[in-house]
Structure 1
Amino acid sequence: MPKWSTRPVLATALAAIVCIAPGCATDLGRGLSDAHDPVVAAPVTAPPRSSTSNVSFAPPAVSPVGSWVFLPVTPSLSIERLTGTIEPDGTFDMAFPTVDGLGVAAGVGSQLRQPVEHARALFAADLFEDESSDIEPSHLFGRGVVSLLDTRVVSVEYDLTVEWGGAASGDQWVAAVVVDLADGSLLGPLDVFYDDSPWLETLARVANADLTERFGKDVVWTEGLAVEASNFENLALSADGVVLLFDRYQVGPGVLGAPRVTVPWLEIGKFVDPNGPVGHLVGG
């Protein structure tokens, strides 16, 4: 097995990991704009937190490794909602997780909320720019699902949909965030993998093989799986491996939706920094 450099890697989280990636326009040409700030201040309601037991928790890490700090216990998980209306013809209803517990940094909650806030802002911008009248209401809905929660990190996958009023089909957007529970910072691929290892090539190879087996060689669009960081921006983590989320129309026709691929730690673990934030998931 080759030995990869163990020099420290700067925390250079990919910006797109915290942004909702735009899907293709619908038949009426409506899609998310590139706005980053809310255009319309829509009313928001946040019902009381409710607990959930649907998430599979990773085995808790019990001791610190390298410079990374582990919490004394796994945080508790609850679900909040972002709901409201955008005049004159828009509604939104999105669920997102939040975590709480001893040692959880104050900024973690805002990092988990940011993707749905961003989606609402883009939705509002598109509604604001649409000058058509007498159309049916448009709806933005979806949720964020926890793929990993232990004493070190929380990883969340977001799957959001817009049903545009009067359109034959809607838009779908996916995103992922991985957050350091101890300091609230976002973690990117270069926080997880050795920077001089072929981690990107491995993700591309495994994803290509997985999608080809599931959908067929003639269906998969290999351009969306080229060995480029931009093709693998929506990256989450789980106890089983690295989770890749692909935008609708990125790797195949719209009928595929937004495919999800898990690259097992058995395939990618050799390139993970054992002293990094998820080293405990691949350690002996």
Structure 2
Amino acid sequence: MGGKNMFKTMAVPIAIFAVIAISVAVIFLALPPAAVSVTVARMFPSSEIPRVTQNYSIDFESPAYHAIGTEQSLSEKDGTHSYDIKYPSVTSQTVSAAILSKARLFLDDYSKYTEEYADLNTYMDADYDLFTVGAGYYGLVMVANSYCANGAMYSSGIRTANYDVKSGKEIFPVDYMKEGALERISAICTAAFVKQFDRDDIIAEALSPEKSNFENLLLAADGLHVFFPEGRVVPDSSGIIEIAIPYASIKDYCMLPSEITEAAVRAEEKAAADKQPEPTAAEPTATQFAAKSNQPMVCLTFDDGPNVGTTDKILDVLEKYNAHATFFIVGSRLENNAARQELVKRAEALGCEIGSHTWSHKDLRKVDEAAAGSEIEKADDILENVLGRKAAVLRPPYGDFRGPVRERVNKPMILWNLDSEDWKTKDTASIIKAVNAVDSNKNIVLMHDIYKPTAEAVEKIVPALIKKGYKLVTISEYYAAQGIELKGHKVYRGLTVS
């Protein structure tokens, strides 16, 4: 990575680099826009700048979800202000007590939140991810969401920690850092933000090399993970931000325990071994799409749109190959926007299906029944106004169908069995590689038509799937072909119905 190659050849002492790096954020953001990218490219080649992951959340569908330790909870589910804070206990009583103390800090946060919105019903939930780092350490991430039941306000918080399994003590990444480490981390994070965001949206002070800006550092097997709370560096809509910095990029600034560095080496070796060359395929003509009765099917599904500049490019590809897809639209994006309404009309005219992704993408589990009903009804109303019909299918925001959501949604709820992770990587090649994994058990693909890399990936994905013999169909077409009736209050993930 960048640090490994750069610092082998640089003849500048670390102390001097540290002084220079202190001003990186200010310099980047003071430059004209064109000069910013040039300066970043010179200091950190684009391929060596880590990605910024937006809207970080705990993946409750992961096989590793709560696989370590025993789930515990602090909860109060009655009254005006309710909460449910999940946290793990482990064999070490010392570690368990430390984790419980960290969980209780969320209660302190929530107390301040309820004071601010004392006259409204509020709720907070918190979840966690606990994992091992090497043979002797734990890594812990805890994420809390606080919101008003009417959906008017929402905030998220994060806390991280590492623990020594043997001693039970919490360890702090900053304790392993040498002089200039924070400056180095600050410079890398600044480069990552500048590469991915509009410069005007970045709060430079939040990236300066101060300990208070880097409170959520986490040692993991693949590197040092840096978390920024919602709204700290960029607008709230980006949620919690995560940047994973490979250890090679900061090796000259840290003296990490050998168990952690050895685990990182093994992780890098495995990643290199798993990396396969991208397959190439000649693009078929549209006439090759003619379906056979036994032809395998794939459903390409797109969330969060429509979006001018990306959705239309996806529709161009679908039209070229006479392929169908399903678009789960956010209703509010159609309001007073003729261009987006035309995209939806065009999609339907091409044989695509228009499903609902609610009115404003609120988590239906985290609002009251009236607000959830409004989210669904308002989306249906605008679709009926634009297309003359309501959505036949719905994809719940965040794929969250738990708790009261089933009762609230009298539509078939469509999930996915293959995540392109375009929301995470925002990289065309990575999206193509992910979708290349389709098979009979992974044939409902999650993508987002709001991203340019996704639109670019679709140009390759569609002809490649057709060449492999797949027919690209809508959700309703797929389930009709399987003889499966779509019913309200039911959840569909491939052939699994619950």
Superposition TM-score tier, normalisation by shorter sequence:
0.5 to 0.7
For residues 125 and 259 of structure 1, do their structure 2 counterparts lie closer, same or farther at Cα, with a shift above 3 Å needed? closer
Shift of 1:109: 1.0
Matching residue of 1:89: 80
Matching residue of 1:46: none
For residues 210 and 267 of structure 1, do their structure 2 counterparts lie closer, same or farther at Cα, with a shift above 3 Å needed? same
Matching residue of 1:99: 90
Q: 2:208 aligns with which of 226, 231, 252?
A: 226
Matching residue of 1:215: 197
For residues 55 and 209 of structure 1, do their structure 2 counterparts lie closer, same or farther at Cα, with a shift above 3 Å needed? farther
**Would the aligned equivalents of 2:77 and 2:84 in 1 still touch at CA under 8 Å?**
no
SS in 1 for 2:184: helix
Q: Give yes or no for the alignment of 1:181 onto 2:145.
A: no
Matching residue of 2:133: 149
Matching residue of 1:238: 220
> 1:18-67 deviations in whole A, cap 9, x for unaligned?
xxxxxxxxxxxxxxxxxxxxxxxxxxxxxxxxxx94169xxxxxxxxxxx
Shift of 1:92: 1.3
SS in 1 for 2:167: coil
> 1:252-276 deviations in whole A, cap 9, x for unaligned?
1111111111111120123221556
Q: Give yes or no for the alignment of 1:54 onto 2:64.
A: yes
Structure that is richer in strand per residue: 1
**Would the aligned equivalents of 1:192 and 1:277 in 2 still touch at CA under 8 Å?**
no
Q: What is the TM-score with the length of structure 1 in the denominator?
A: 0.64
SS in 1 for 2:251: helix
Matching residue of 1:250: 232
Matching residue of 1:172: 156
**Would the aligned equivalents of 1:211 and 1:220 in 2 still touch at CA under 8 Å?**
yes
**Would the aligned equivalents of 1:144 and 1:156 in 2 still touch at CA under 8 Å?**
yes
Shift of 1:150: 3.4
For structure 2, the 5+ residue unaligned runs are 1-7, 15-61, 267-498
Q: Give yes or no for the alignment of 1:158 onto 2:142.
A: yes
**Would the aligned equivalents of 1:159 and 1:174 in 2 still touch at CA under 8 Å?**
yes
Shift of 1:175: 1.1
SS in 1 for 2:200: coil
Shift of 1:219: 2.1
For residues 86 and 126 of structure 1, do their structure 2 counterparts lie closer, same or farther at Cα, with a shift above 3 Å needed? farther
> 1:102-139 deviations in whole A, cap 9, x for unaligned?
xxx42011222222211123324553x46854x3x211
Matching residue of 2:107: 120
The within-5 A match list for 1:24-63 is 53-54=63-64
Matching residue of 2:387: none
Matching residue of 1:19: none
Residue 239 of structure 2 aligns with an amino acid whose one-letter code is: G
For structure 1, the 5+ residue unaligned runs are 5-51, 57-75
Shift of 1:243: 0.4
Relative CO higher for 1 or 2, CA cutoff 8 Å, sep ≥ 6?
1
Shift of 1:249: 1.5
Shift of 1:210: 1.4
Structure that is richer in helix per residue: 2
> 1:51-89 deviations in whole A, cap 9, x for unaligned?
x94169xxxxxxxxxxxxxxxxxxx81341314227631
Partner Cα distance (2:151, 2:65) in 1? 34
For residues 3 and 186 of structure 1, do their structure 2 counterparts lie closer, same or farther at Cα, with a shift above 3 Å needed? farther
Shift of 1:283: 7.0
> 1:165-211 deviations in whole A, cap 9, x for unaligned?
446121111111111111111111333223x3x21111111111112
For residues 223 and 277 of structure 1, do their structure 2 counterparts lie closer, same or farther at Cα, with a shift above 3 Å needed? farther
SS in 2 for 1:80: strand
For residues 95 and 84 of structure 1, do their structure 2 counterparts lie closer, same or farther at Cα, with a shift above 3 Å needed? closer
For residues 238 and 54 of structure 1, do their structure 2 counterparts lie closer, same or farther at Cα, with a shift above 3 Å needed? same
**Would the aligned equivalents of 1:246 and 1:258 in 2 still touch at CA under 8 Å?**
yes
For residues 216 and 109 of structure 1, do their structure 2 counterparts lie closer, same or farther at Cα, with a shift above 3 Å needed? same
Residue 168 of structure 1 aligns with an amino acid whose one-letter code is: A
SS in 2 for 1:151: coil
Could you say what the CA RMSD is over the residues aligned between the two structures, in angstroms?
3.1
Shift of 1:154: 0.6
**Would the aligned equivalents of 2:133 and 2:263 in 1 still touch at CA under 8 Å?**
no
**Would the aligned equivalents of 2:162 and 2:218 in 1 still touch at CA under 8 Å?**
yes
Partner Cα distance (1:277, 1:123) in 2? 37
